[in-house]
Amino acid sequence: MERGSTMLATTSQLINQFLSKPPPFNLFTELAPVALVADAAEVIAVSSKIPADTLAEFARAAQADAAGFNYGSPGAGSVPHLGGEVLARAMKTKMIHVPFRGSADAAKEVAAGNIQLTLATQATVAPFVESNLVKIIAVAAPRRLRTLPHVPTTAEAGFPGIELSNWFGIMAPHATSAQLISLINQSFNKALAQPDIESALLRQGIEGVRQTPEQFASRLQHDAQTYKRMLDDFGLTPK
């Protein structure tokens, strides 16, 4: 990356730091956090063929299925994959991971009834929710989404501690001056405060985030510890 340039980093790139050997770049030593601009909470979406309208009802249905329910994700080590493992443990039931090429493909299979569940962003499953093929039964976030005010959080649904999201942040070369980082941060925060931008993000189930570089750095460290612990717990090692 050239000096003075920036790049968009995501949760996936953070997780890949622990799955690639070696990673293509070191997120923590080669780059500097500039601005966390957006956060897209994962929703728990299930097939409408499952007679369950709440997470507790879905858990009971999964527990009663001897073969085990299937859940889809865009691949091993992705946020939906890790979220599905965490959810299965919380529900005390067996769920089989089925990887797809992307979240959209997983959502299509849930809509078709070929798999029972996926974790995804609201925008990914919205077309299937509108056609009544998929139900969103919980939001894996600390608070309800403004676009889904009647859908409970996982904690409200009786499964606390399951909070997963895909964030998007701006990063710069590590040698970038603090003054320039602050200037870029203020520019992004000013743009995110515009009502039209906020509305456009909300329509996709995405919350605009306006934080300082220090707050973004703290989020990076927190998520790094969280996802590294998950990967170790589930036996996912670098390749």
- The predicted-structure confidence for 206-233, as pLDDT tens digits, reads as follows 999 999 999 999 999 999 999 999 999 9
Question: Can you give the pLDDT at residue 4?
Answer: 54
Using omega within 30 degrees of 0 as the cis cutoff, is the peptide bond preceding 213 cis?
no
Q: Which residue has the tokens 């750095």?
A: 217
Domain count, the chain: 2
**Residue 132 included in any domain:** yes
Mapped to the 3 state alphabet, what secondary structure does the chain carry?
CCCCCCEEEEHHHHHHCCCCCCCCCCCCCCEEEEEEEEEEEEEEEEECCCCCCCHHHHHHHHHHCCCCEEEEECCCCCHHHHHHHHHHHHHCCCEEEEECCCHHHHHHHHHHCCCCEEEECHHHHHHHHHCCCEEEEEEECCCCCCCCCCCCECCCCCCCCCCCEEEEEEEEECCCCHHHHHHHHHHHHHHHCCHHHHHHHHCCCCEECCCCHHHHHHHHHHHHHHHHHHHHHCCCCCC
The token duo for 103 is 């979240």
CATH of the domain at 80: 3.40.190.10
Domain that holds residue 70: 41-140
Q: Are residues 117 and 185 in the same domain?
A: no
Q: Are residues 96 and 169 in the same domain?
A: no
Q: Are residues 22 and 48 in the same domain?
A: no
The mean predicted confidence, pLDDT, of the chain is 93
**Residue 239 included in any domain:** no
Has residue 3 got a pLDDT over 60? no
Has residue 95 got a pLDDT over 80? yes
Which letter, b or e, does each residue of 161-191 get, where b requires 16 or more Cβ atoms within 10 Å of its Cβ?
A: ebbbbbbbbbbbeeebeeeebeebbeebbee
Q: Are residues 105 and 171 in the same domain?
A: no
Q: Which residue has the tokens 């599905």?
A: 84
Has residue 51 got a pLDDT over 50? yes
**Residue 200 included in any domain:** yes
- The predicted-structure confidence for 64-90, as pLDDT tens digits, reads as follows 998 889 999 999 999 999 999 999 999
Q: Are residues 59 and 136 in the same domain?
A: yes
Q: Are residues 121 and 181 in the same domain?
A: no
**Residue 28 included in any domain:** yes
The token duo for 104 is 């959209």
Q: For residue 166, list its beta bridge partners.
A: 40
CATH of the domain at 186: 3.40.190.150
Has residue 20 got a pLDDT over 50? yes
Q: Are residues 48 and 65 in the same domain?
A: yes
Has residue 63 got a pLDDT over 70? yes
**Residue 151 included in any domain:** no
The residue out of 140, 174, 189 marking a domain boundary is 140
Question: Can you give the pLDDT at residue 149?
Answer: 95
Q: Are residues 33 and 55 in the same domain?
A: no
- The predicted-structure confidence for 148-200, as pLDDT tens digits, reads as follows 999 999 999 999 999 999 999 999 999 999 999 999 999 999 999 999 999 99
**Residue 154 included in any domain:** no
Residue positions counted in the chain: 239
Q: What is the pTM of this model?
A: 0.91
Q: For residue 138, list its beta bridge partners.
A: 44
**Residue 116 included in any domain:** yes
- The predicted-structure confidence for 98-129, as pLDDT tens digits, reads as follows 999 999 999 999 999 999 999 999 999 999 99
Q: Are residues 34 and 45 in the same domain?
A: no
Has residue 2 got a pLDDT over 50? no
Q: Are residues 72 and 120 in the same domain?
A: yes
Q: Are residues 48 and 112 in the same domain?
A: yes
